[in-house]
Amino acid sequence: MSIVLDPWGHIAIENYEKLLVEFGIRPIDEVLNSYSINHKYFTRRVIFGHRDFNQWLNAYQSGGRVAVLTGLMPSGDPHLGTAMVYEELRFFQEKGVFVKMAIADAEAYAVRREDRDSVVKKGLDFIAHALAWGINPDNAGFYYQTSMDSSYYRLIQLFSRKVSEAEMKAIYGDLSPAKIMAALTQAADILHLQLDEYGGFKYILVPVGVDQDPHLRLTRDLADRFENELALKRPASIYHKLLRGL
């Protein structure tokens, strides 16, 4: 039976090796055989897979414009899985990398049907917890999806031209208008840092739970399709094992 990755659902993965094969995710061992990364998430294989992490590391070591971006869904309270994301951000920030965290308030409202005021308040809690975990605000950015400017939202509109409904159904399964908008917004979250007005970071790393891989697959395809028009590059990603809230 094939594995289904649903970024909006609740899934349990029993066979991570099978998952790597089914979705073309590379095992983290192939990176660790060439690079020394001294963090327990890597040495203990809590982070187990990647897409192009080796290319991101090459850019980092050669002084390229690198950044780390991830997003959090403010539909619940911060939990141990959230803390894993904070720890990954803190680790890379301590290496001198700029980190940015999206609060997916638009997605929480439209897809999860959360109350708008509650989403905004929970987003502040997520940011406060990140700072308490040790994220340095002097080399970090935090934002709500609904509080960005026109260049960010323009990406969402442009991306809609070069992806079909059939393609999105193949990636995500059943779709609603809210999920389509959420997926394109996720792509803008990941790729907007490559635009000059947001720093011109050409090498983006996205640390997430593996349930979010559908968003990375769509985003990487969109980056390819807009390489000439917008000079976008495929983002890299690393995947940690899933740890749900109670």
12 pLDDT more than 80: no
Closest CA relative to residue 163, chosen from 218, 207, 211, 109 = 218
Q: Nearest Cα to 159, choosing from 134, 187, 139, 131?
A: 187
Residues 6+ away with beta carbon under 8 Å from 128 = none
Name, in order, each residue with C-beta under 8 angstroms of 66's C-beta and a sequence gap of 6 or more.
56, 59, 60, 97, 98, 201, 202, 203, 204, 205
Q: Looking at residue 36, what is its pLDDT?
A: 87
Higher pLDDT: 8 or 88? It is 88
Percent of the chain with pLDDT over 70: 98
**Mean pLDDT, range 186-213, rounded to an integer:** 97
Tell me what pLDDT residue 1 has: 59
Mean pLDDT (the chain) is: 94
Q: What is the pLDDT of residues 100-135, one digit of tens each?
A: 999 999 999 999 999 999 999 999 999 999 999 999
Q: What share of the chain has pLDDT > 90, as a percent? A: 85
Q: Which of 68, 225, 53, 64 is nearest to 155 (CA)?
A: 225
pLDDT at 11: 72
Query: Above 70 in pLDDT, residue 246?
Result: no
Q: What are the pLDDT digits (tens) for 47-96?
A: 999 999 999 999 999 999 999 999 999 988 888 888 999 999 999 999 99
Look up residue 230 and give its two tokens: 């917008």
Q: How confident is the model at residue 8 (pLDDT cuts 50, 70, 90)?
A: confident
* Model confidence pLDDT, tens digit, residues 142-160: 999 999 999 999 999 999 9
CATH code of the domain made up of 16-240:
3.40.50.620
Instruction: Label residue 96 left, alpha or beta by phi (over 0 means left) and psi (-120 to 50 means alpha).
Output: left
The answer, yes or no, to whether residue 2 has pLDDT greater than 80, is: no
| Element at 227 (helix H, strand E) | helix 227-230
Average pLDDT over residues 24-51: 94
- Judge contact between 9 and 210, C-beta under 8 A: no
